[in-house]
Structure 1
Amino acid sequence: MLVSCLSLRSTTTLLSTLKMLTPLLLAFAVLTQSSFTAATSSVTWLQPQRSAIVKLSTPGYPSKEGAGQHAIILKFELSADNKTLLLDGTPFLPLQNYYIPPRISAYHVPDDIKKDAIIAIAESRTAGKESIRGQRLELDYDRLVEGDPTGGPPYYNHKPTLRFRLMGLGSDGADTLLDPQKQDIVQVSMRDQNEGGWSNDAASSYTIDDIELLPAEKVYAELSTSLGDHMGPEADQEKECTRKNWKCPDEGVYEAGSPYRTPYRFIWRKRYDQYGRIGSLRHAFVEQWEISKQKVYNDPRNSALVALGVLLATVLAIVSGLKSRAQRAAAAKEPTKKHWTEKEAEKAARKADKAAQKAEAKEGEKHEQVEDEEEEEEDSEDEDAAWMSEMAAQSGEVQMTVDETSNLIDLMSDEEGDLDAAAAIPADKALSIEPKKKKKNSNKRVAFKAETEE
């Protein structure tokens, strides 16, 4: 009986101890589970303000063989130069080409994946691969941006915000449409550290201020009132896209007051290919252009013709450039040369005029001098003739008139040096004249002596 009492007392004590330990054990289990299992749609930072892993739950995606709920892994990070937000290594804000939205795929994982496995997947370690289910899933997504840094002018969007929502998943050729109201929205808030310049400046440098997971209902309710033209998922309406429209843009994309608008927000994989929006005129143009280039490159003959054409074009460009350069050089020299010639011609003309004037003046002076000399010579001859007649009369020799004496003097100064005294003396009186042989000099008098023959 004593043994029975002791056993009963021990059992009672053990039960009491278990009752006391149960809450502690449950709390420990909860803490342990929370430390190793990520919550639904969680954010795991890899590097503060630079990179993070988002585990995004996908309610409505069908489970196979009781595999439980599913999720996808998205890695948001800044580029090395801090100018672009990358999604799984693809430029996502701003886009490289707004007409060709990027195709995004993501790892498919269980919704209860642990954080250690998430980090292992991000770091491409083997431990993380064990948690991946099958192949990567192709994503249909809603990309909505507020304050795109390239959306201007004016370029003052220094705090861009990205809102990302899943619309569908594709695997093995099968597409699954998700309920838009049940999907969480990933909101990434960025900030430009170079707020003093333009948002599209080369000096821009971004940080990731925050990454939040928000319910779609709340986000779209705020968007419909604060961002003007931005609308909820009801804006995604399938419209016929034909070549009558250049790019077939989406509705509900544009920011209020922004003249530069992103044409596409709802990115369905079936609507786009490597040439852009299928069915649009732009798509047809780009496709034909690419096909033409491929035909040229793939056909050796066409390639040879293209190479020859490029060579000829290069040669012509070089020749044309050299010719243009020579023409420019000649044109640059001609004005100077022409100006110099005209200047010299003007100088020469002025010199010629001065020389002509001087020559005319000298000629006039010479002519006047000759006339003066002739007049003086005539006067001198008359004086000489008168003097000779007077001297002859005084000496008793043959008297001659002044005219006869002048004629005699003219005969004596003849260029040939001949003397015909008879022409100056009357025929009834013969004279014997002996002229003095002297050199002709118009400035000197001619002396002679006439003797009468008896």
Structure 2
Amino acid sequence: MTATNLLYPPIPFLSAAEGYRQPVADTRRGVRWLEQGRTVLVRLDTPDLPLWDAYDQVTDITPSLIFNFTLQDKRILLLNGVPVFPLQNAYVPPRLYARQSTISLTEFEHGQPSNFDEGPLHAIDYHRVVPISEHPSAHYNVFTTQLELDVLGAEFAGQHTLLRDKTQPLILVYLNELPPFQKYPYYKSIAELDLTLSDSLLRDRFPYNTPFSAPKDLAECTLWSWRCSDIDEYPWYRYIYRESFDEHGKIGSFRHMLLQIWERFGFWQATMMLAVGMALLLAPLFWRLHRAAVRTKQHVKGLYTRREEHELHKTDAEAACLLDYEDSEEAGHDENDLDSNAELNGDAYGRHPTGGQDDFGKPSMASNMMAIQESLGTIPS
């Protein structure tokens, strides 16, 4: 091994070191309050996003995206003018945009507030999380929550870029309810509460949202799902990629197809088409179920028929046995009667009482033995 090789650590060592990278602590650098409790600006470094100049040409300067969070009427949180909390329609997540800027971190925090309206406007993809339930029917005594936003991608001038860099942070915005607080029973929904922006910070993406989830990494949306949700509870979607949603909701879901048909043909026509389509789709299944039911019925009927035949045969056999038994008993009684008559007759005519009528005129056992000995010859003693 040469001295040059000793100067460079091996590649597996670098990979292991990257795998054991420690997350960076939360920071408020890049967060500037314009109005405490109401409006805050956040500067987000985007290492993977190229800078576009006035001529739509890529430059080598590392840019950032500017996010303006404003609490409107103490009820609705706006992100660059678009409501993000509470959601107006959870089936159709809001489309978000952000201006690109080359302002430095020091100038952003301590310089004069700049006008970012001249920067390129990027449509963004994002991952949105609210830890507690934000369902319209949810009620709380004292409401407090946080909105977590991870920018996944950006598009400008037809150029779409996925923002995979692990060093790009997450944006967190904290919301608290203003007093007076509700007393039990709690009747106000989240949309009826007076809120304030209590804090905002940047959090390391690693390891919370890694590995990165691109559109191809997510579950495929098919007609077998009503809304193709990411989670089983409201608001159902966390990964908001613009290519996956339109004004009807999640593209590819059964709900999306149904709304498209309703918009084009009307409610009743869509209902009829849906009924016919479902009938054609389910007809083979119903036919198979019908055939299975018929075969099962025939099989059960055959089992009952064979059982009835077996029971009938068994009954006939028992009846025949019973008749034979009765006949044998009658025959026994008749024979006993004959024996009794024979005994009486024997007594009357001087015959041995043990001899029956059938033994009359037959040779005795002793005479039979003598005849056998004579035929065989004399047996020597």
Q: TM-score, normalised by structure 2?
A: 0.54
Counterpart Cα distance in 2 of 1:99 and 1:217: 29
Contact residue 147 and residue 158 of structure 1 kept, 8 A: no
Percentage of pairs with the same residue: 27
The residue type paired with residue 103 of structure 1 is R
Is the aligned partner of 1:268 residue 2:241? yes
Equivalent in 244, 247, 255 of residue 282 of structure 1: 255
Counterpart Cα distance in 2 of 1:279 and 1:44: 41
Counterpart Cα distance in 1 of 2:160 and 2:244: 13
User: SS in structure 1 opposite 2:206?
Assistant: helix
Counterpart Cα distance in 1 of 2:42 and 2:84: 15
Equivalent in 54, 58, 63 of residue 70 of structure 1: 63
Computing the radius of gyration over CA atoms, which structure comes out larger, 1 or 2? 1
Tell me: CA distance 1:157–1:97, structure 2 relative to 1, closer, same or farther (3 Å). farther
Deviation of residue 90 (structure 1)? 1.2
Could you tell me which residue of structure 2 aligns to residue 244 of structure 1?
224
Contact residue 149 and residue 158 of structure 1 kept, 8 A: no
Is the aligned partner of 1:119 residue 2:119? no
Contact residue 86 and residue 190 of structure 2 kept, 8 A: no
Tell me: CA distance 1:185–1:107, structure 2 relative to 1, closer, same or farther (3 Å). same
Tell me: CA distance 1:235–1:169, structure 2 relative to 1, closer, same or farther (3 Å). closer
Could you tell me which residue of structure 2 aligns to residue 125 of structure 1?
none
Is the aligned partner of 1:165 residue 2:150? yes
Contact residue 151 and residue 261 of structure 1 kept, 8 A: no
The residue type paired with residue 137 of structure 1 is H
Q: TM-score, normalised by structure 1?
A: 0.46
Deviation of residue 293 (structure 1)? 5.6
Is the aligned partner of 1:42 residue 2:30? yes
- The structure whose residues are more often helix, as a share, is 1
Contact residue 193 and residue 206 of structure 1 kept, 8 A: yes
Q: Give unmatched runs, 5+ long, in structure 2.
A: 1-26, 52-56, 270-381
Cα deviation digits, residues 11-60 of structure 1 (max 9, x gap): xxxxxxxxxxxxxxxxxxxxxxxxxxxx9961111110111111111111
1:436-451 counterparts in 2 under 5 A? none
Is the aligned partner of 1:97 residue 2:89? yes
Deviation of residue 205 (structure 1)? 0.3
Deviation of residue 189 (structure 1)? 0.7
Contact residue 221 and residue 228 of structure 2 kept, 8 A: yes
The residue type paired with residue 39 of structure 2 is S
Equivalent in 121, 132, 144 of residue 136 of structure 1: 121
Tell me: CA distance 1:104–1:149, structure 2 relative to 1, closer, same or farther (3 Å). same
Deviation of residue 286 (structure 1)? 1.3
**RMSD between aligned alpha carbons?**
3.1
Cα deviation digits, residues 311-346 of structure 1 (max 9, x gap): xxxxxxxxxxxxxxxxxxxxxxxxxxxxxxxxxxxx
Counterpart Cα distance in 1 of 2:260 and 2:29: 40
1:427-442 counterparts in 2 under 5 A? none
- Which 4+ residue blocks in structure 1 deviate beyond 6 angstroms? none
Tell me: CA distance 1:281–1:86, structure 2 relative to 1, closer, same or farther (3 Å). same
Contact residue 157 and residue 199 of structure 1 kept, 8 A: no
User: SS in structure 2 opposite 1:216?
Assistant: coil
The residue type paired with residue 249 of structure 1 is S
Cα deviation digits, residues 343-370 of structure 1 (max 9, x gap): xxxxxxxxxxxxxxxxxxxxxxxxxxxx
Contact residue 40 and residue 55 of structure 1 kept, 8 A: no
Could you tell me which residue of structure 1 aligns to residue 78 of structure 2?
86
User: SS in structure 1 opposite 2:61?
Assistant: coil
Contact residue 53 and residue 118 of structure 1 kept, 8 A: no
Counterpart Cα distance in 2 of 1:86 and 1:149: 16
Deviation of residue 201 (structure 1)? 5.7
Is the aligned partner of 1:55 residue 2:43? yes
Tell me: CA distance 1:73–1:203, structure 2 relative to 1, closer, same or farther (3 Å). same
Could you tell me which residue of structure 1 aligns to residue 166 of structure 2?
181
Tell me: CA distance 1:191–1:270, structure 2 relative to 1, closer, same or farther (3 Å). same
Contact residue 138 and residue 190 of structure 2 kept, 8 A: no
Tell me: CA distance 1:118–1:139, structure 2 relative to 1, closer, same or farther (3 Å). farther
Contact residue 56 and residue 71 of structure 1 kept, 8 A: yes
The residue type paired with residue 74 of structure 1 is F
